[in-house]
Amino acid sequence: MERADFIHLVRLSEHASAEDSQAYRRGVAMFAFVGYAWVIGCVLIAAAALWWLASDWKTGHVNGGRIWLTIAAAGLLWSSLRALWLRLEAPSGIEITADDAPLLFEALAKIRKRIKGPAIDKVILDDAFNASITQIPRFGLFGGARNYLTIGLPLMFALDRSRLLAVLAHEYGHLRGGHGVLGAWIYRTRITWFKLHNAMGASGNFATLLSHGFFRWYFPRFNARTFALARQDEYEADRIAAKLLSKDIMGASLVEIEVKGAWLRTEFWRRHWLQANSSSTPVGPFKEMAKLLTVPPEPTFAAQALQEAMRRLSDIDDTHPVLRDRLHALHQTPQLPAWSSNRAIKLLGPKADHWISELDRQWRKDNRHAWSQHHAYLGRMRERAQTLMASVQRNSADELVELAQLQRRLDPTANVQVFYERALRLSPSHGGALRGLIHTLPSDAVDARLSYLEQLFEASMTHRWWASKEATHTLEIALRANQDVAPALKTWRARLKTSEEAEERAWQEHMGSDFFQSIAAHDLNSYEVSELRDDLQRIPTISRAWLVCKRLREFPQRRCYTCFLELPGMDDQSRYDLCRSLETSLSLPGSVLVLWAGHSPTLQDIQAKAFAPVFVQSARKA
């Protein structure tokens, strides 16, 4: 299905839900049964065909056509039965029991009692900054399901008890009674159809071609028709959590997760991987993470992270609403909360340190190969910095900016201001040098920051949004310090509004157009390619990656990219989360839209139109 058709069906489902929710839900349930009816029909047809063919075989009526039909019917029966009893993998991690963590299980029992939901069959600890409920069917497509609650230890490091319980109440809310039964069943059915679609896609026998064709038609339409229901379910789960703990606690937990999640992505992991500079063997991250997440985020970073989160808009790539919509539905003001001080990790009792050590051990094992690769990459980075330093008196402005960036990546505390200043003497309007120099200035150097930001705004169309954002933030801090900056702040806010509108047009052009329209082979140099490959090498779920330049009408001179990933064995939600995370963390000299190979774009389209892969995951030693 083309992306435009998928978007159209999603919008129709949203309108249908808004006009008559009950009729919409009945329609969703009926369309869900179409998939079941197809599989059951295939079983009956295949069984009937085999029964008829068996009677012919008994009477000796055997020929090439009947042999072919027998093989086809047997293949269809096998593939259909496999669909009916398809096994979904249980979540991985450390299973814990009530004996291990009685305080946690007491809290879960209270949530269950108030929600009147089913029992949690297993509780799993993992290393994600997240919590989730997973339902695994006991008997394939039919029968009840086992409920798995997965809690990420980093989330327990970051939140206090009440805010963590709000998150768990949200997850438990997906299992509630009433309308929740339909929502949970639809959620489980979406995953099942996805797994079946992938399984059939991997099979090349003739008997499954018909079913494969059906599911190629059915699966994206089922996803589109159920989209509004899945998003409603998220809002309802938020409402239930707010009712149990309070709207204030739920709102504060959403904001704290957003800010600390941004800090983990942009600060913690970058610093942690820098330890490969001095150590060739992996260093476990979670013991240190447990300490650092108790420290309140730096105020400037927290304010910027919240502002950026509030600018994001909900889209059709994820059924989860964005922070702005979730806070609005809870009638909560978007503001920084009082940071958690009483960590929820205490719910795990005295065994918490053991589980932290176990996750550290597993992380070191899983990332041994990637760490070794990164250690070598940092060595190459040092060599490049040393080469540029040896010729520093002859370097061009671009080379001086590169040298400054390399030194900052190797040592975030390095003093690189002199390199940016020298680059500006060579090229006074160099956007990269101006932006880098501004980064080196303290936040209270208001006049100097504004002077360079003004130069950057005038010199580079590409950097106007960033310059406006930084200037506005600098002036807002000055205003809170009672400095007379109101006229300048008004000017920069107007510029920011205009720049944001241009950025939104550019992003919509990037996302909304044909993914393969106005593209060219990537323009990265060998060093930039090695940086990108190092980023991708750390993520074992990425099989292959393609990178193309995207030419935008809004910013013709901007370096802008689309990255396509092959992510076998992942569900769509995990793929979505990974792609959104990579959009903010990949080492690229411009903005990037990250997409995975699925129903749009397909792997076949990517292979045909996105040039050669820029990255192929190397084999890992056990």
**Whether 378 contacts 409, CB under 8 Å:** no
H runs (alpha helix) in 204-298: 209-225, 227-245, 247-263, 269-274, 286-292
Query: Residue 247: what pLDDT?
Result: 96
pLDDT of residue 156: 97
DSSP 63: -
Q: Where are the domains of the chain?
A: 376-511, 519-616
pLDDT, tens only, 447-463: 999 999 999 999 988 89
Q: How confident is the model at residue 91 (pLDDT cuts 50, 70, 90)?
A: confident
Judged against a pLDDT cut of 80, whether residue 201 lies above it is answered with: no
Ramachandran assignment for 51, one of left (phi > 0), alpha (psi -120 to 50 degrees), beta (any other):
alpha
Name the average pLDDT for the chain: 87
Predicted confidence at residue 248, as pLDDT, reads 96
**CATH class, range 519-616:** alpha beta
- Which residues are CB-contacts of 147 (< 8 A; sequence separation ≥ 6)? 118, 119, 120, 121, 122, 133, 134, 135, 175
Cβ contacts of 606 within 8 Å, gap of 6 or more:
546, 564, 566, 597
Please state which of the ranges 173-177, 261-265, 564-568 shows the lowest mean pLDDT: 173-177
pLDDT at 204 over 60: no
In this prediction the pTM is: 0.77
pLDDT for the residue 179: 46
DSSP code for 89: P
- Say yes or no to pLDDT of 165 above 90: yes
Per-residue model confidence (pLDDT) at position 141: 61
Q: Single out the residue of 103, 193, 97, 93 nearest to residue 150, CA to CA.
A: 93
Q: Which pLDDT score is estimated for 622?
A: 40
pLDDT for residue 153: 96
- Main-chain dihedrals φ then ψ at residue 281, nearest 5 degrees: -110, 145
Q: Please check whether residue 86 is in contact with residue 42, taking contact to mean a CB–CB distance below 8 angstroms.
A: no
More confident residue, 41 or 457: 457
pLDDT in tens, 327-378: 999 999 999 999 998 889 999 999 999 999 999 999 999 999 889 988 988 9
pLDDT at 78: 76
Q: For residue 47, what pLDDT is reported?
A: 87
Residue 266, pLDDT score: 87
Does pLDDT of 87 surpass 50?
A: yes
Cβ–Cβ < 8 Å for 166, 241: yes
What was the pLDDT predicted at 601? 87
Q: What is the dihedral of CA 304, 305, 311, 312, to 10 degrees?
A: 160
SS3 assignment, position 614 = coil
- Measured in degrees and rounded to the nearest 5, phi and psi for residue 389 equal -70, -35
Residue 148 has pLDDT above 50, yes or no: yes
pLDDT of 323 reads 94
Inter-residue contact 575 to 598 (CB < 8 Å): yes
| Ranges 193-202, 350-359, 472-481: which has the least confidence | 193-202
Tell me, what's the pLDDT at 145? 76
Q: Is the pLDDT of residue 80 over 80?
A: no
Distance CA 448, CA 468 (A): 15
Point out the least confidently predicted range of 180-194, 240-254, 490-504: 180-194
Q: Average pLDDT of 419-423?
A: 97
Reply yes or no on domain 376-511 having CATH 1.10.1060.10: no
Q: Which three-class secondary structure state does DSSP give residue 570? A: coil
Mean pLDDT over 25-34 rounds to: 86
Task: Identify the DSSP state of 395.
Answer: -
- The band of 232, judged by pLDDT with boundaries at 50, 70 and 90, is confident
| Contact between residue 578 and residue 570 where contact means Cβ atoms under 8 Å apart | yes
What average pLDDT does range 167-191 have in this prediction?
73
Task: For tokens 């929502």, name the residue.
Answer: 183
pLDDT band at 527 (very low <50, low <70, confident <90, very high): confident
The predicted model gives 568-595 an average pLDDT of: 85
Q: How far apart are CA 531 and CA 613, in angstroms?
A: 15
| Residue 547 reports pLDDT greater than 90 | yes
Tokens of 264: 């983990």
Rounded to 5°, angle at Cα 554 from 550 and 555 = 65
| Cβ-proximal residues to 109 (8 Å cutoff; 6+ apart), any chain | none
Please count the other Cβ atoms lying within 10 Å of the Cβ belonging to residue 466.
18
Of 473, 128, 130, 511, nearest to 306 by C-alpha is 473
Q: Are 522 and 614 in contact (CB under 8 A)?
A: yes
From CA 304, how far away is CA 472, in angstroms rounded?
Answer: 11
